[in-house]
Amino acid sequence: AQKVTQAQTEISVVEKEDVTLDCVYETRDTTYYLFWYKQPPSGELVFLIRRNSFDEQNEISGRYSWNFQKSTSSFNFTITASQVVDSAVYFCALSEDSGNTPLVFGKGTRLSVIA
Amino acid sequence: DTEVTQTPKHLVMGMTNKKSLKCEQHMGHRAMYWYKQKAKKPPELMFVYSYEKLSINESVPSRFSPECPNSSLLNLHLHALQPEDSALYLCASSQPLAGTTYNEQFFGPGTRLTVL
């Protein structure tokens, strides 16, 4: 069975600090997809990134970067020079490529960036 | 157009009311989803429509009835709800990758439902 663990329930940082959100996953499939979503106070879930299990390259997009390590089953997300607008709940999710298996979400990490 | 729209934004209903939530996307996606999200919890999958056919029902009570009139629209009909059904209801859509059924999902802003 698939499972996503986000051990950090809440994180609070001061603006301009770097912060890393952890995500550990479990799956029996060799082909799977990992995702990060951001949910600001408005409620809408915003898609940030998709990574498939065969692509272990790290990715950087502006202040955001993702570190995918199959050896430790982790897909961590780092925000550099955090800003108040980064305050949100961040969800890591997993989808197995074995047919009708949609997203399984972690419990989310609430990030508060203080000015 | 890369958005999913949902109406209404807020809904308050009594336990004897019948109401409907609506979701629309014009991205040509062929999979659409309903999720329920309680406060401080992750979204929980309710239903999945794939190519306008119901493909997953996560043992949702019959007081929730989904409908997919066409490839762009998804409805959720509500009847005889309970106060514990109060939650944020999120709609999402995705375009399946070749060889898979599901891919990244794009979410609407949600309908915040309160059942009195």
Residues B51-95: tens digit of each pLDDT: 899 988 888 999 999 999 998 999 999 999 999 999 999 999 988
Q: Who wins on pLDDT, A85 or B50?
A: A85
> Nearest by CB to B110, which of A33, A43, A99?
A43
Nearest CA in chain A to B111: A43
B9-28 residue pLDDT tens: 999 999 989 999 999 998 88
* CB within 8 Å: A102 and B108: no
A42 contacts B103? CB cut-off 8 A: no
Q: Tokens in use for B48?
A: 């999945």
**Residue among A43, A95, A102 whose CB faces B88 most closely:** A43
Does the beta carbon of A3 lie under 8 angstroms from any beta carbon of chain B?
Answer: no
Average pLDDT score over residue span B104-111: 92
Q: What is the pLDDT of residue B32?
A: 92
Please identify among residues 67-106 of chain A the ones whose CB lies closer than 8 Å to any CB of chain B: 91, 95, 97, 99-103, 105-106
Cβ <8 Å between B107 and A99? no
Chain A residue with Cα closest to B54 = A100
Q: What's the confidence (pLDDT) of residue A103?
A: 86
Q: Report pLDDT for B21.
A: 98
B90/A45 touch (CB, cutoff 8 Å), yes or no: yes
Q: Does A59 touch chain B (CB under 8 A)?
A: no
Mind giving me the DSSP string for A9-30?
SEEEEETT--EEE--EEE-S-S
Residues of chain A with pLDDT under 50: none
- pLDDT of residue B36 exceeding 90, the answer is yes
Range in B21-25, B95-99, B108-112 the model is least confident about: B95-99
* pLDDT at B99 (0 to 100): 59
The pLDDT, as a whole number, for residue A2 is 85
Contact flag A99-B101 (C-beta cutoff 8 Å): yes
pLDDT digits (tens, 9 = 90+) for A75-99: 999 999 999 999 999 999 998 865 5
| pLDDT value of residue B1 | 54
Q: Which residues contact A33 (CB under 8 A, 6 or more apart)?
A: A50, A51, A52, A53, A94, A95, A97, B103, B104
More confident residue, A56 or B114: B114
Chain B contacts of A42, Cβ < 8 Å?
109
Q: Are A15 and A113 in contact (CB under 8 A)?
A: yes
C-alpha to C-alpha distance for B78 and B116, rounded to whole angstroms: 14
Residue reference for tokens 């890591």: A92
Cα–Cα distance, B49 to B74 (Å, whole number): 9
Residue in A with minimal Cα distance to B88: A43
CA angle B16-B17-B20, nearest 5°?
A: 145
So what's the pLDDT on residue A114? Answer: 97
Pick the residue with more confidence: A60 or B34? Answer: B34
pLDDT of residue A97: 67
Check residue A94 and give its pLDDT: 93
